[in-house]
Amino acid sequence: MSDKTVLYVEDNEYNLKMVRQLLARTAYQLIEARDGQAGVATALRELPDLILMDIQLPKLSGLDATRRLRADPKTAAIPIIVITSFALSGDDQKAKDAGASAYLAKPYSPRELLQMIRKLVPEN
């Protein structure tokens, strides 16, 4: 069984911890980046199987980071789930316009996130 890698681009330690715990009991390997610029650089270097992208990030917003990843042939096809805590009307459309594969508003249930990850990138 080959492990799938999930890159989580998030600056909030609580949210990182929750996803670490969620994926600890799965076959997914979690890699992390704390801001949008680091997220883009890590994605280009590691080529993860899936990216979880927070919208509110230091240095480069999650939507801008998503656009950059979509523009690069190496990362253009990687599924990206955009996650936001500021779910405003139209945010889901902005996320899709930026190239997100899926959109999730906080607070969400960890089970819901795991279902979304497994749907986009099955564990085996």
Q: Quick one: CA torsion of 105, 107, 112, 117, rounded to 10 degrees?
A: 60
The whole domain housing 112 covers 4-120
pLDDT at position 24 is 93
The domain tally of the chain equals 1
Q: Which amino acid is at 80?
A: I
Say whether pLDDT at 60 is over 70: yes
Query: Mind listing the pLDDT tens digit for each residue in 25-57?
Result: 899 999 999 999 999 999 999 999 999 999 989
pLDDT at 1 over 50: no
Instruction: Establish whether the linkage from the previous residue to 107 is cis, with ω within 30° of 0.
Output: yes
Angstrom CA distances, 9 to 2, 35, 90, 112, stand at 22, 6, 22, 18
Integer Cα distance of 40 and 34 in angstroms = 11
CATH number of the domain to which 55 belongs: 3.40.50.2300
